[in-house]
């Protein structure tokens, strides 16, 4: 891969990151949220916070093997090596963009899964019971994106990175800007900077952001039939998270090869 092509992709990527931040930096409260805010129990946010934390704990401890049964991990790893070798041989922008196209294909499929799951749970009026499935689908989508860019997700370091992606993607204002800077600083440092948080603390931080952001929608999702409105929100938030994940894994991939002394 020629470094001039990588530089060009990095410029395009930076513009895409700026677009994501500009689109999400402002907190937008819908009329639905204004209407139902008076009916939401005071304890619901804390209940959601605990539910998200428990879901992360369970999935990271016991759910990864199950998630891996939904896709061919070895094939994804082999495909990445083939695409990387092809990019080296062809040495053009098109081959470099193929990593994006493959990752986008997986993202689209997982969004369809999220939509079906969210709406189904909404019809049944299952808001909080939906959370472990919601988290599993998000992690499945991020895992696949990671593999398409040549990264694993089993280590504590990688899991903290994934949790930071989810947290930052759902932040607004200064928290979004600062979170994005911290993630990019870590990537640009050859990933040598230490995370300033433990795995447990990061799970708590990410769970708190999720519970605040999805408070009203999970409340609505707990109402039979009407919960479809809340269920549809699953796909909206999954798209936001996976869009951001794709940007950050692509940055890792490009920065890694940009800094290599030997052209791959």
Q: What is the pLDDT of residues 164-190, one digit of tens each?
A: 999 999 999 999 999 999 999 999 887
CA atoms within 13 A on the CB side of 100: 17
Could you tell me if 122 and 228 are in contact, meaning their C-beta atoms sit under 8 angstroms apart? yes
Give residues with Cβ within 8 angstroms of 168, minimum separation 6. Answer: 175, 176, 179, 180, 183, 244
Per the structure block, which two tokens stand in for 260? 């290599």
Please choose, from the candidates 109, 150, 147, the residue with its C-alpha nearest in 3D space to the C-alpha of residue 238.
109
Distance CA 40, CA 66 (A): 34
Model confidence at 236, pLDDT cuts 50, 70, 90, reads confident
pTM of the model: 0.81
Q: What is the pLDDT of residues 66-76, one digit of tens each?
A: 899 888 899 98
Distance CA 70, CA 76 (A): 12
Q: What is the pLDDT of residues 98-135, one digit of tens each?
A: 666 666 666 566 555 555 554 444 444 444 567 888 89
Q: What is the pLDDT of residues 24-74, one digit of tens each?
A: 999 776 565 555 555 566 777 888 899 899 999 999 998 888 899 888 899
How much of the chain exceeds pLDDT 70, in percent?
67
| pLDDT of amino acid 84 | 78
> With 60 as the cut, is the pLDDT of residue 264 above it?
no
| pLDDT of amino acid 231 | 47
Distance CA 101, CA 38 (A): 44
User: Look-up: residue for tokens 């409340």?
Assistant: 219
């Amino acid at each position: 891969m020629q470094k001039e092509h990588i530089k060009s992709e990095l410029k395009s990527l930076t513009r895409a990151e700026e677009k994501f931040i500009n689109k999400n930096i402002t907190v937008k409260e819908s009329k639905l949220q204004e209407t139902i805010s008076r009916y939401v129990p005071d304890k619901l946010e804390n209940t959601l916070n605990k539910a998200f934390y428990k879901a992360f704990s369970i999935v990271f401890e016991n759910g990864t093997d199950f998630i891996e049964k939904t896709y061919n991990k070895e094939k994804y790893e082999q495909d990445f090596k083939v695409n990387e070798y092809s990019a080296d041989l062809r040495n053009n922008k098109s081959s470099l963009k193929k990593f994006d196209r493959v990752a986008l294909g997986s993202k689209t499929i997982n969004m369809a899964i999220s939509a079906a799951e969210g709406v189904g749970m909404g019809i049944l009026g299952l808001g909080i019971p939906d959370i472990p499935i919601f988290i599993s689908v998000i992690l499945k989508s991020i895992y696949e994106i990671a593999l398409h860019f040549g990264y694993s997700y089993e280590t504590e370091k990688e899991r903290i990175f994934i949790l930071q992606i989810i947290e930052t993607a759902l932040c607004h204002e200064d928290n979004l800007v600062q979170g994005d800077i911290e993630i990019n600083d870590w990537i640009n440092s050859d990933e040598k900077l230490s995370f300033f948080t433990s795995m447990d603390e990061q799970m708590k931080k990410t769970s708190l952001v999720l519970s605040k952001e999805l408070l009203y929608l999970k409340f609505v999702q707990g109402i039979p039939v009407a919960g479809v409105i809340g269920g549809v929100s699953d796909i909206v938030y999954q798209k936001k998270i996976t869009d951001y994940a794709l940007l950050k894994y692509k940055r890792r991939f490009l920065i890694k090869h940009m800094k290599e002394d030997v052209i791959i």
